[in-house]
């Protein structure tokens, strides 16, 4: 069904279509008679043998939705009924911000890819925290991750305070945190991936984490454009700071080997989708091998088929996440992946 209506969706601006679809999905889930039942029966995954525990959290299956799809936590309940084992919301910043000028998302259909330069557009951490508090009052079984960042106007020397604000505000309503220093769409953000500022940021959050009676797993989301030497630093930083793990990878600024028209290819922003498949898997394998599997890795980037997911897990990922593949392949991809994973 999705492959029949996808060409219609793809005639329109991708950002507008995104909100058109998710708003109607939510309406169908919340208001249509038997809407929730229909979604569950069609897409939800009830397959034994897929459950797993990673960084102390029990997941009903290892296929999650990556950050960026539901930045403000508005559609979690409906999305969870499409089979996802976990939902990651954000990236959220302390203050609301509109993001970059539109248009800011582009389809590269010949490459099954997207370029986005959204720029952390979100309604602010207070709005997200309140929405998640209401969700928790109804659903304690949905695993939710909080992806946190800094406001565009916050200079890097003050960035730690932005991450702390988001961390403190979301602590009681998320299951794990993701520190996003790898988006290419906030000026200067990737400079925080350098060893010294990154150590400072993660150590500060870990100290904050240990002040509570309970602690939350903290993961670091990294870019696929890091060199092996930089990946070596990432391994050292994860081990020294004691954070829970890594998400590999974010979008790429590399444009090599694309087939789509030069005009689209040269749009600024992060590239996701099939062109990222191989590189993200390489990064996962490198981190897993270099660290001797010392920490969990969530694999994301170019997962468009069950085999793509299996490749990432064989490379060392404990869990995987979808975004662009979900848009190109449709919601049934979650169940297809899970059915193949359970076969081993």
Please list the active-site residues.
183
The position carrying tokens 């800011």 is 104
Cβ proximity of 261 and 109 under 8 Å? no
Q: Which two tokens stand for residue 203?
A: 């150590």
Edge-to-edge strands, sheet with 113-116:
105-108, 113-116, 270-273
* Dihedral, CA of residue 219, residue 225, residue 230 and residue 234, to nearest 10: 10
In angstroms, the CA 41 to CA 173 distance is: 28
In angstroms, the CA 17 to CA 12 distance is: 6
Instruction: Residue 336: count other Cβ atoms within 10 Å of its Cβ.
Output: 17
In angstroms, the CA 102 to CA 291 distance is: 41
Q: How far from 68 is each of 46, 95, 115, 251, 278, CA to CA, in Å? A: 26, 17, 13, 11, 21
Q: Which two tokens stand for residue 226?
A: 């890091």
Nearest to 309 by CA among 339, 286, 330, 287: 339
- Angle at the Cα of 324 (from 319 to 328), degrees rounded to 5? 120
Q: Counting runs of H as helices and runs of E as strands, what totals does the chain give?
A: 13, 13
Cβ proximity of 92 and 70 under 8 Å? no
In angstroms, the CA 335 to CA 340 distance is: 9
In angstroms, the CA 296 to CA 52 distance is: 12
């Amino acid at each position: 069904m999705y492959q029949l209506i996808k060409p219609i969706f793809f005639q329109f601006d991708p950002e507008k279509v995104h909100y058109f679809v998710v708003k109607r999905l939510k309406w169908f889930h919340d208001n249509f008679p038997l809407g929730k039942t229909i979604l569950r029966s069609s897409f939800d995954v009830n397959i034994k043998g897929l459950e797993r525990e990673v960084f102390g959290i029990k997941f009903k299956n290892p296929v999650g939705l990556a950050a960026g799809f539901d930045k403000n936590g508005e559609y979690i309940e409906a999305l969870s009924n499409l089979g996802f084992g976990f939902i990651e919301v954000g990236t959220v910043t302390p203050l609301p911000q509109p993001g970059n000028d539109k248009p800011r998302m582009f389809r590269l259909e010949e490459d099954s890819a997207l370029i986005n330069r959204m720029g952390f557009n979100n309604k602010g951490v207070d709005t997200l925290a309140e929405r998640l508090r209401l969700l928790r009052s109804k659903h304690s079984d949905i695993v939710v991750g909080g992806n946190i960042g800094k406001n565009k106007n916050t200079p890097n020397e003050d960035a730690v305070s932005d991450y702390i604000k988001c961390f403190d505000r979301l602590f009681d309503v998320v299951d794990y945190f993701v520190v996003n220093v790898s988006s290419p769409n906030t000026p200067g953000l990737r400079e925080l991936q350098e060893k010294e500022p990154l150590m400072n940021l993660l150590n500060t959050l870990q100290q904050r984490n240990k002040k509570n009676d309970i602690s939350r797993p903290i993961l670091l989301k990294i870019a696929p454009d890091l060199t092996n030497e930089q990946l070596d630093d990432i391994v050292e930083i994860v081990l020294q700071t004691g954070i829970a793990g890594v998400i590999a990878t974010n979008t790429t600024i590399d444009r090599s080997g694309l087939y789509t028209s030069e005009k689209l290819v040269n749009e600024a922003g992060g590239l996701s989708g099939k062109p990222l498949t191989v590189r993200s898997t390489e990064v996962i394998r490198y981190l897993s091998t270099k660290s001797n599997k010392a920490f969990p890795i969530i694999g994301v980037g170019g997962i468009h088929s069950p085999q793509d997911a299996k490749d990432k897990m064989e490379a060392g990922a404990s869990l995987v996440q979808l975004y662009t593949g979900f848009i190109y392949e449709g919601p049934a991809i979650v169940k297809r992946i899970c059915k193949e994973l359970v076969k081993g």
